[in-house]
Structure 1
Amino acid sequence: MSDNTPDDDFQEMLRRMLGGDQNAFGEAGIDPEQLRNMGVDPAQLQQMMAAFQQAMSTSNGEIPWDSARTGALHVANQDSLAITSGQRNDLAGAFQLADLWLSEATNLDPTGQLPIVLTRGEWVEQTLPVWQETAEPVAESVADALTDALEQQTPEEMRQAISGASRMIRQVGGSLFAAQLGQVVGKLSKEVVSGGDVGIPVLPPGVAAILPQNFDDLGEGLEIPHEELALYFAARELAHARLFKHAKWLRLHVMSQVTDFARGIHIDTDVLDDLAGRFDPSDPQELQEALGSGALLPKQTEAQKHALDRLENMLALIEGWVDVVAADAAARIPSLDRIAEATRRRRAVGGPAQDALGMLVGLQLRPRRLREAAAMWRAIGDAVGRDVRDGLWDYPDLVPTAEDIDNPQGLIARLEASARGEEAPRDEMDEALAQLFAEAEAEEPGDDAGEAPSGDEPDRS
């Protein structure tokens, strides 16, 4: 009779199914050529299986983010080209000239840091901590929900016996999510052109960066001179860097909104319960597809919709300001209008990796109100000048609101009145607050006939 506990037997079964035996990829196993014919990269599959084996050996319940890094670098380094000295020199010259032009378009100071050029792999290394921070709440929710779903389907008398197996199942779910995130970030590294390209601040404040290989790919087919395209993107990237360097509160503000949105995500337990009932750790493809398709993410709650609206408005304000300032700085470029329109179309359509990120964490990074926000910033600058316009980034409570995007003239009127030293015109919000205060004052007890007599009055009893 075996001395193994049910937990030991379950762990041994999982180890065998997850490739612990030598023949998992040997002659008796799956032919790598067959995997390629099915559209599966054997190297990626081996990395995932290795992550699972590591999960089996540790079972500490933590998300194995190292597998995300390994997977992202594997994808990023495919077809990756080294940066040539010519590319470095061309982009350095574009950055230098764009920085001079930018000082004529905004009062925000230069960052004092040299712009950098990055390979795709270097971009992954530098930005992965931000993607991990963004995705971690969802990953934890997936891992916890998978464990809960499996435990609920286990008979009460067996739950204690398989507690260790539950921890391993949790780590398998976390491993799948981390591997999926690595694939998405690796694919993003082939789409992004600059540090500020994805909307959220993925590089430290003040750092401006361009990926030369992706920049060259972008220029193909546009029939726009390379040097003009380089100047425009350098101006955009430097404007982005100056803004985040100046508004020291902004990065934390944006990332807090991102993580608040992510923490509000709760996995669709109905879908997961159904999936958990037939979950086979040796064939995690169905769970992986559910993660990648967004099937596990339920419809957004009202609170989440409000959080997403706030985030989208802030991203639109940032990108709209960058658009206006970069266009002013690059006004000397003959092809400016064509470049700006191509950039707007590219951002509106996005790329497959951005769509995949949205499916994975429920977050779309394409602000819908970008044109309206840019028009607002343009109107403010024309009316009160760039000093006042850029000063709105000094403190969080000065930044325009969604209502200001809808009605720039109301904000402009207040700014013009403030510049003249006058009391700002009252808007609907001011009127509503005044009405509330007036009603509150009217309800306060006063010296009227309904008051009880004071002790000094004569006794009329």
Structure 2
Amino acid sequence: MSDLPFGFGPSDPDDESRRSGPGGGAGGAGFGFGLPGMNMGGLPGGAGGPGGFDMGQLGQMLTQLGQMLSQSSGPGAEGPVNYKLATQMAHQQLGAEGGVAPTAEQQRAAEESVRLAELWLEDATTLPSGASQVAVWSPAQWIDTTMPTWQRLCDPVAQRVAGAWVEGLPEEARQMAGPMLGMISQVGGMAFGSQLGAGLAQLAKEVLTSSDVGLPLGPEGTAALLPAAIATFTEGLDRPAGEVLVFLAAREAAHQRLFGHVPWLRQRLLATVEEFARGIHIDTSRMEELAREVDPTNPASLQELMSSGMFEPQTTESQKAALRRLETLLALVEGWVDVVVADAVGDRLPGAVALGETLRRRRASGGPAEQTFATLVGLELRPRRLRDAAALWRRLTDERGIEGRDAVWAHPDLMPTADDLDDPSAFVGRRKGVEGAEGSGSGGSGSGGSASEAGTGESFTDLDDPLARLEAEMKAEQEARDRSGESGRSGEEPDDEGKSS
């Protein structure tokens, strides 16, 4: 991870690269320091406090804190992140322009573009349409509509962060701080909410569709486009606005098909974020060592402790594994969409190849999706993986056809791994080996083509039970190993690559 999950500040207090914006910007709000409207200048070591401790300034600061706690209370303010404050801050930073609703003409253009894209996609994938309605959102509407999903994404990380540093306090300190923990929790929730609001306000100005970050952020079955951001995006391109709109509508419609008809995908993506959160760990031994050096009568000493990096998480092996799985799955989603959309639009849109490359470079240059995930979740989307995933799906399409490619989404156990992205030919070879084994089995049983139709050659949309497909493929793989073992008598089962030969 090149950045820290929200709630953590940078180790170097002079590192301004992570302090761009309210609440600390990309580096974290730091458990109450840097809240909007809070003036720390009266504290020694603060912006204006080289002199002695000013009780008047402290009183003013506490008054401001009380007002903020009061204004930010109510529904959405409870929990590890103050989502009410996050929404308020995001709307405030967007300003009046961000709340201007799209026009009826923009709505009609979006509906027509999605309708055309859906028609083209019919020949490019076996997955049926996943969008029951088409919406156009302003940046403010995007924030309000996607906030429930952001809450599910951010809560596990914030909850673990908030609990980890309290758990790390010495027992004596925890007992003494007992009455204050509730207030500290509120302040922490506000700090997290402040940072989340700032990040989402920036993201809302730049996202083009509801699936632009690779996750199903919007309501299920809703294909949504953001006309204002699309217009800004189109200004830098030498392509007609209508062509750009149809291309983006095709990508959005393809995402909706995938998230709408692969039932395990949405849950798996969110569950992996939760798994990452459970692995957050803070070095309590370092915390205790630093705490012994703090002079509780000196606020400057406390502030120095907060910016010393003592609350920075240690990246664990379980977190690395969770991040790798999440990055791989997101890459597979985006790679599949790239291939399907390219096949769907074909020669219909002369600028399709250039538009696809522009979007890939947009991610590679540190676009909004990468920056937001790195800040809020600790995840970076790696463009190299997206290209590798697209290459794998292309190879699979060429070797097995559209039906065979889309059938891989039937069950998570059938999906390619990160190692498969490094060597697509090996994965495709294994799939061909399974198909060949199933074909041999069906011929031997005298059932003709029926057994083959029950295997991976069947259309995904014809499947009633994905688990039945998984069971059939596992059985076919075992039969292939048994036959290879009988012919070779080598005492060892051949590897998967051996089966394809």
TM-score by length of 1: 0.73
Distance of aligned partners of 1:262 and 1:86 in 2 relative to their CA distance in 1, 3 Å threshold? same
2:123 to 96, 99, 104: 104
1:83 Cα shift? 0.8
1:175 Cα shift? 1.9
Matched residue, 2:258: 243
Distance of aligned partners of 1:248 and 1:278 in 2 relative to their CA distance in 1, 3 Å threshold? farther
Matched residue, 1:203: 218
Matched residue, 2:230: 215
1:89 Cα shift? 2.0
Matched residue, 2:20: none
Relative to structure 2, which stretch is displaced further, 266-275 or 171-180? 266-275
Contact 1:55 1:171 in 2 (8 A): no
1:88 to 107, 111, 114: 107
Distance of aligned partners of 1:356 and 1:172 in 2 relative to their CA distance in 1, 3 Å threshold? same
Contact 2:133 2:221 in 1 (8 A): no
Contact 2:80 2:155 in 1 (8 A): no
Contact 1:271 1:296 in 2 (8 A): no
2:87 to 69, 91, 103: 69
Contact 1:138 1:361 in 2 (8 A): yes
Distance of aligned partners of 1:144 and 1:238 in 2 relative to their CA distance in 1, 3 Å threshold? same
Pairwise mapping of residues 128-139 of structure 1 onto structure 2 (< 5 A)?
128-139=147-158
2:396 to 362, 377, 380: 380
Matched residue, 1:227: 242
Q: Deviation per CA, 1:283-326, whole angstroms, max 9, x where unpaired?
A: x9989989xxx984434222211111111111111110000001
Q: Does 1:321 align with 2:336?
A: yes
Secondary structure at 2:123 match in 1: coil
Measure, in 2, the Cα distance between the counterparts of 1:337 and 1:311: 27
1:174 Cα shift? 2.3
Contact 1:145 1:272 in 2 (8 A): no
Runs (5+) with no aligned partner, structure 1: 1-16, 35-45, 441-461
Measure, in 2, the Cα distance between the counterparts of 1:278 and 1:313: 47
Q: Deviation per CA, 1:216-247, whole angstroms, max 9, x where unpaired?
A: 11111112111111111111110000011111
1:161 Cα shift? 5.9
Matched residue, 1:455: none
Residue identity matched to 1:263: R
Q: Deviation per CA, 1:178-204, whole angstroms, max 9, x where unpaired?
A: 221122122211121111111122123
Residue identity matched to 2:128: D
Matched residue, 1:169: 184
1:119 to 123, 126, 138: 138
TM-score by length of 2: 0.67
Distance of aligned partners of 1:175 and 1:385 in 2 relative to their CA distance in 1, 3 Å threshold? same
Residue identity matched to 1:67: L
Identity of aligned residues (%): 40
Contact 1:324 1:374 in 2 (8 A): yes
Q: Deviation per CA, 1:99-156, whole angstroms, max 9, x where unpaired?
A: 111111111111250221111111111211221222212222333345456x64x9x4
Pairwise mapping of residues 441-456 of structure 1 onto structure 2 (< 5 A)?
none
Distance of aligned partners of 1:416 and 1:356 in 2 relative to their CA distance in 1, 3 Å threshold? closer
1:350 to 362, 366, 383: 366
Structure index of larger Rg: 1
Q: Deviation per CA, 1:303-360, whole angstroms, max 9, x where unpaired?
A: 2111111111111111100000011111110111211110110122233574254134
Report the aligned-residue RMSD.
Answer: 4.2
Contact 1:143 1:171 in 2 (8 A): no
